[in-house]
Amino acid sequence: MIEKQTAISIRNLHKSFGDRKILDGINLDIYAGETFVIMGPSGCGKSTLLRHLIGALKPDSGQVFFGDKDLSKLSETQLDQIRKKFGMSFQSSALLDSLSVEDNVSLPLREHTHLDPNIISIIVKMKLALVGLRGVEHLMTSMLSGGMRKRVGLARAIAMDPEIVFYDEPTAGLDPVMSAVIDHLILDLSKKLLITSVVVTHDMNSVFRIADRVAMLHLGKVLEVGTPDEIKNSKNKIVQQFIKGEIEGPMSVIEKEEHSMTEVTE
């Protein structure tokens, strides 16, 4: 692979909730412009990892670098400056249900810029068009279908022209066709807007459709990092069991459930 500029680097990241280790020494580099997928079984710590990347959680030890800035050492105000360069698409879309579609997408623009309302309205239309939505500006978010909510969430994530967009389970709860549409959209956006995409998912179809590189997480550790082909041909039995979805294998299901239960209770 050509030497690329690092957008985010994670160094020896540890996090525990109570006496349960969720992240156990994560080291990863995410390059600018690539689509990086973090996959792993439920409860392996991938959502927790994502929350560290956006600065929502502070690590017990270790660092997350955005450029040359250590996120855990920044004040709330400095963190907010960095967050303006982030976009995040949530698993549940997390649209504000008291606002219309237009107000949702324009919210970061209204809060952080002094643009004229007419210009904001044009930007909103453009962003919605980018995710393939037209004429929905005045709908309330409660009237939207799951796929539409995801797309409005995406439009909101790219409203401020971010450098990096984080996707938390972008295809969870969607039908296969809509999943493919969202995957296509992720690729499309990263190509058109030249953004770095970090995707957390356990949808294997999605992983092999969109990823430039994949990291497999298991029990708070990175098992393997590589291109989709490298992952497919991995010799690691846990990786093989996971991508093939087999019940029998080194990844104990009992252990997995125990782990995911603790994540629910946290």
Partner 1 sequence: MKQILHLFENVGTWTKNYTIVLVEFIRLSSEIIYWVIAGFFRGRPVNHAHVFEQMVFMGAKSIGIVFFVTFFTGVVLAMQSAYQLSQFGATIYVASLVSISLCRELGPVLTALVIAGRIGAAITAEIGSMKVTEQIEALETMAINPVRYLMVPKLLSLLIMLPCLTIIGDYSGMMGGYLVGVFNLDINSTLYIQTSLKFLDLKDIYTGLSKSFVFAAIIALVGCYQGIKTKGGAVGVGQATTRSVVVSFILIIVADCVLTGFYYFSNM
Q: Please give the residue ranges that form the binding site for partner 1 (CB under 8 A).
A: 54, 56, 79-81, 83-84, 86, 88, 90-92, 94-98, 107-108, 111-112, 156, 160
Q: What SS3 state is found at 134?
A: coil
CB of 251 to partner 1, least distance (A): 28
Q: Which is nearer to partner 1, 117 or 250 (CB)?
A: 117
Q: Which is nearer to partner 1, 137 or 212 (CB)?
A: 137
Q: Which is nearer to partner 1, 56 or 253 (CB)?
A: 56
Decide the pairing of beta strands 35-39 and 69-70.
Answer: unpaired
Provide the residue count of the chain: 266
Kind and range of the H or E run holding 199 = strand 196-201
CB of 211 to partner 1, least distance (A): 23
CB of 71 to partner 1, least distance (A): 13
Q: Which is nearer to partner 1, 81 or 233 (CB)?
A: 81
Q: Which is nearer to partner 1, 47 or 234 (CB)?
A: 47
CB of 141 to partner 1, least distance (A): 10
Q: Which of 13, 7, 53, 22 is nearest to 265 (CA)?
A: 22
Q: Which is nearer to partner 1, 162 or 220 (CB)?
A: 162
Contact 249, 238 (CB under 8 A): yes
CB of 57 to partner 1, least distance (A): 11
Contact 91, 168 (CB under 8 A): yes
Q: Which is nearer to partner 1, 54 or 219 (CB)?
A: 54
The whole-angstrom separation of Cα 204 and Cα 225 is: 15
Q: What is the DSSP letter of 45?
A: S
CB of 62 to partner 1, least distance (A): 21
The whole-angstrom separation of Cα 6 and Cα 33 is: 9
Q: Which of 42, 43, 8, 40 is nearest to 27 (CA)?
A: 8
Query: Residue 24 — φ and ψ, nearest 5°?
Result: -130, 70
CB of 149 to partner 1, least distance (A): 11
The whole-angstrom separation of Cα 155 and Cα 159 is: 6
Cα torsion at 172, 176, 181, 185 (round to 10°)? Answer: 40
